[in-house]
Chains A and B, each alone.
Chain A
Amino acid sequence: MPKAQTPVVKRTLFSWVFAVNIKLQILLVAIIMLTVFARVVPLEMQKRIVNEAISLRRMDLLLRYCGVYLVAVVLASGLKFMINALQTYVAQQATAQMRKALYHHILTLPLSFFRNTQPGTVVNALVSELSLPGNFVGMAVAVPVSNILTLLAFAGYLFWLNPLLAAVSLSIYPIVVFLVPMLQKRVNAANKKRVSQARLLSNKIAESVSGIHEIQSNGAFGIENKKYDRLVDRLLKTRITWSLYRFAIKSSNNFFVSLGPFIIFILGGYLSIRGHLALGSLVAFLSAQEKLYDPWKELIEFYQVYQDGSVNYARTMSLFDVPPEHVLEPEGRAPYRFKGRIEVKNLSFLTPSGIRLLRDVSFALDPGSQLAVVGFSGSGKTTLGQCIGQLYKYTAGSLRIDGYEVSELTKRDIVQNVGFVSQRPFIFSGTIEENLLYARAALISGSADKGKEALPDRDDRIEALQQTGLFLDVLRFGLNTVLTRGKHDDLVGQLIQVRHNLQRDFGAQLAEYVEFYEEDKYLYHSNITENLIFGTPDSEDFLEANLPRNAYFLDFLKQADLTRPLLGLGAGLARQLVDILGNLPPDEVFFRQSPIAATEIEDYKHLVARLEKLRLHQLSDEDHARLLQLALRFIPGKHKMVSLPSLLEDLILEGRALFKEKVSQERPECVTFYQSSEYIFSQTILNNIFFGKMKSTQPHAQEKINQSIIQVLIEEDVLETIIEIGMQFDVGSKGDRLSGGQRQKLAVARTFLKTPPILIMDEATSALDNKSQSRIQNLLETRWKGRRTVISIMHRLDTIKNYDQIIVLKAGKIGEIGTYDELMAQKGMLYELIGKKR
């Protein structure tokens, strides 16, 4: 169990310095000490070389001192590298730790926090804002310690050489210490001004661009120019001030530092002439003075990183300084296991801005009973569900589960006992299976006896899919999978059998929905590559992506008179698609019906721009390859932005025959031509069992064929295998490759697999078709009744009859409570609601 510690948002920036790795920091200090020593040695050697070796003309001394000098310099450089490496390591570790700790904290923040916070703010805080504080942590020990020690060592050495000269030449530094922060303040102020003025300028530009119609129609160029110029001038002034202060820091720093040698020359020269200072000491003095500059500069930079880093750190942490509403883990006990009795007394919920979403709500539910909550939108239904699920903390009254007050329970207690399906469930990127097991896996990973609890087995998973009606969707995903050669050898044989059975039993019936592969017919639902090759590539250079650059294939196209017409088709497609899609966001929805992928649109935009200026034959080979690629992907039955000229269609059919003849003779190892006895590895399972492609993706067409497909899959005993493959379907980011209905079904299924004693469904089936809704409702009424407490928040009223209790909420208050029959007999609010619905 994690011990109580200071929340990350309360930690100071300095607390990270030794939190990362104290041993490393100590090692760092030790290395620094060595480095400082290694830095001073060359100075002493300089002095000795001049005073002893050169003046006394001693070659042996010269070599010895130079040797020591060299060793010290090599050592200092090596150690400096080590310091930098350690410093970077510490900085990166600190940033990573801050990112982790803050992320862990953010996930536990109350939902109300996320209502008022943009996701971008959180992303920015975690990704960019913490780098600078992290850098500071990396520098926090190494930089000040090494530089101050170096400064002190040099200063000490100088005093040892000549106290008077040292005192005078070092006297400039206090002036700099006073001056730099003063100037820095001005730089900061000017910088702030610069940022806000730049923002004003951006707004102005954006305004002009979006209001360009108005500007041009009114000829208001003068007015707009004046407004814009004024802003630019203001920014200009601020930028100049900002830059001047920055240079002032640099210059004054440089100036004072270069004053050093001047003082040394004048005073040191005087002392030397008078015989109070040896020439070697003067040289050493000059070198030391020069070398003071680097540590000094680093200290100034460190000061700036400290300033910026601590500002960033404080701002970021204060943003998330919101305490979690509930304790996460129970201390000193296992999480409770509830039976599911719920008692609500005078429950109220007041938003921070003082709006009362729930008012004095009271009711009680026995374990295993079922409650429907109905009412208009905004009546507080969802809030009530969220209070019971501990997603919001109620502000007054009492809400008990098995006698325990919900606000005092830990998150773990609730997670263990309550399943919550929200209106708009969130699906995470990953596979169907990962999402299906999400709730259960989370439960197990947080459980004390992890080892004993297992994830649901295949039968349970499939049962959950069937219960929620997701089974057919997953079957479809499975059928749309392209198998990898050599991975499913057994299955492939079975699928060929499925193909024969399907053709035998349902061939005629399916012909309406499926375009079967026939050698002498154009395939309108396949692309041009498939139409030409009519087979599976067996060699890398015959893969679709490589064909436009495959010399053999290009030669074939020329021979079949296809090069020019295909380039023309590619150009037409590119123009049309860039025109339609060129300015749309790269959303999957827009590119589903396009042969150009979202990631390629920019390239094609440039290509179309070149097409405006050049003729087709003037384009480069690379552009030709791109256009050809596009044409080869063209599916007339899907890509409706251009049509397939009949002449080209005939040429392609001729080309198919020529290709087969040519390849069979010259490169038989490169392609396996379609045969009804062979599995086609480049195509989906569905296309394989059809030996063709579906003409429509609409649900009504799918419904028609589902029955026959399932029947033959069961006959060959491969249905469950296909479902398992379908469960590996990648749902995309935020589940965007699933429909709204599929997302809801998946959310219900993952909660069903968790089998919690209390289930809260917040309009959890609203996006489902009637059949799926009734299926889930039936399940709740048969399998769940009497065993698990169910609270259903309902928008539709046609399925509430069999609930044990119905609550009608109105403006956050219970308007009515009772069974369906009681409330209907009462002819009150429910009666009226149902009447209105009719």
Chain B
Amino acid sequence: MSLSGKNGNNCASCEFQDNISLLRETSFFGALPLEVLKVLAYLCTRETFKAGEYLFRQGDDDGCAIYIISGAADLLYACEDRPCTIRSYGAGTLLGSLSLLGRMPRLFSLEATTEVYVLILEREKFVKGIGAFPETFPKIFQSLIRSISDWEEAFLSGHAESCETCIKKTGVSVL
């Protein structure tokens, strides 16, 4: 297995190589063997969204994981009458890894606030890509469990102690 091809294959800094590096930086994909990452990096595509465009919309099941390479986007939730901004994301964020694993309508919308350049991996590609390496399933589950647990731990230590309503709503990791 070679990462950068030999004998001058024109890929010292091609998109495919960069995609591998980007995926390795994320906690969800980082633990996967290089052989699998290579396939996933190959299957990713890159897209640009202009400010005001939606990367995904609440209620839709677009089935994509999105890694923000540059730019910023807001996570929105349709409150009773208007969209509420939950938080903003910038470069280096991976969103939607859960929706790679199975059907799930988005509970939030993601709107570009500047021009956003993203790496997109679709569920179908992910499922088939991973399907070719069944031995990686345990690692995927482990990454998933770790993400959920890390998220809740950060939430507990960051907010929950100071907010009584919040602490009563915690417990996603004991599902």
Interface string of B133-174 (1 = CB under 8 A from A): 000000000000000000000000000000000000000000
Question: A587 vs B131: C-alpha distance in the bound complex, in angstroms?
Answer: 11
Q: Are the C-beta atoms of A575 and B42 separated by less than 8 Å? A: no
Is A642 in contact with chain B by the CB < 8 A criterion? yes
Interface residues of A in 562-599 (CB under 8 A from B): 568-569, 571-573, 575-576, 579-581, 583-585, 587, 589-590, 593
Residue of B at shortest CB range from A573? B9
Cβ B11 vs Cβ A576 within 8 A:
yes
In the complex, A618 has a CB within 8 A of chain B: no
- Kindly state whether residue A770 has any CB partner on chain B within 8 Å: yes
When the two chains form the complex, which single residue of B1, B42, B60 contacts A641, counting CB atoms closer than 8 Å? B42
What is the bound-complex CA distance between A417 and B14, given in angstroms? 58
Determine which of B1, B10, B49, B132 lies in contact with A569 in the assembled complex, contact meaning CB atoms within 8 Å: B10
With A589-B124, A640-B15, A700-B54 already in contact, the answer to whether A575 and B43 are too (CB < 8 A) is no
Assess whether A642 is in contact with B10, with CB atoms less than 8 Å apart: yes
- A696 touching B47 in the complex, CB below 8 Å, given contacts A642-B14, A769-B60: yes
Nearest-CB residue, chain B, relative to A589? B128
Is A579 touching B39 in the complex (CB atoms < 8 A)? no
Chain A nearest CB from B108 CB (Å) reads 13
Given the complex, which residues of B lie within 8 Å of A773, measured CB to CB? 59
- The verdict on A572 contacting B8 (CB below 8 Å), with A587-B128, A593-B42 known, is yes
Select from chain A the residue with minimum beta-carbon distance to B50. A512
Query: Which chain B residue lies CB-closest to A796?
Result: B105
- The answer, among B2, B49, B55, B132, for a CB contact under 8 Å with A584, is B132
Give the CA-CA distance A575 to B2 in the complex, in Å: 9
Please tell me if the beta carbons of A580 and B42 are within 8 angstroms of each other in the complex.
yes
CB distance B9 to A739 under 8 Å? no
Shortest distance between the CB of A777 and any CB in chain B (Å): 12
Chain B residues, CB < 8 A from A275: none
Q: Are A572 and B47 also in contact (CB < 8 A) when A579-B1, A593-B42, A770-B59 are?
A: no
Tell me whether B14 and A640 are in contact (CB under 8 A): yes
User: Using Cβ atoms and an 8 Å threshold, which residues of chain B touch A573?
Assistant: 9
Q: Quick check: A584 and B39 within 8 Å, CB to CB?
A: yes
Please state if A575 and B5 are interface contacts (CB–CB under 8 Å): yes
A287 beta carbon closer than 8 Å to chain B: no
> Total A-B pairs in contact (CB under 8 Å)?
106
Most buried by A among B2, B16, B19, B54: B16
Q: How many residues on chain B are close to A (CB under 8 Å)?
A: 40
Question: Residue-by-residue, is B8-39 near A (CB-CB < 8 Å gives 1, otherwise 0)?
Answer: 11110111100100000000000000000011
Known: A571-B7, A641-B11, A769-B61. A698 touches B45 (CB 8 A): yes
Q: Is the CB of B124 within 8 A of A580?
A: no
Size class of A's contact patch?
Answer: 35 or more
Q: Closest CB of chain B to A158's CB: distance in Å?
A: 68
**A-side contacts of B132, CB under 8 Å:** 583-585
Cβ-defined contact, B47 with A698, below 8 A:
yes
Q: A644 and B10 in contact (CB under 8 A), knowing A580-B38, A593-B42?
A: yes
Complex Cα distance, B6 from A571, in Å, reads 10
Judged by a CB distance under 8 angstroms, whether A766 is at the interface is yes
Q: Contacts A580-B42, A643-B15, A769-B61 known; A589 to B125 CB distance under 8 Å?
A: yes
Is A767's beta carbon under 8 Å from chain B? yes
Q: Is the CB of A770 within 8 A of B57?
A: yes
Q: Which residues of B contact A740 (CB under 8 A)?
A: 63, 103, 124
Q: How many angstroms from the CA of A796 to the CA of B103 in the assembled complex?
A: 12
A835, CB-defined interface residue at 8 Å: no
Q: Report the minimal beta-carbon distance from B19 to chain A, rounded to whole angstroms.
A: 8
The smallest C-beta distance from A832 to any residue of chain B, in angstroms, reads 16
Known contacts A575-B5, A770-B57, then 10 further A-B pairs from the complex at CB < 8 Å, ordered by chain A residue: A568-B8, A576-B11, A576-B16, A579-B2, A581-B42, A640-B46, A698-B120, A699-B62, A700-B49, A773-B59
- Residues on B lying within 8 angstroms of A by beta carbon are 1-2, 5-11, 13-16, 19, 38-39, 42-43, 45-47, 49, 53-55, 57-63, 103, 105, 120, 124-125, 128-129, 132
What are some 13 contacts across the A-B interface (CB < 8 A)?
Answer: A576-B16, A580-B39, A590-B39, A590-B128, A590-B129, A593-B45, A640-B15, A640-B42, A642-B10, A642-B14, A700-B53, A701-B47, A770-B57
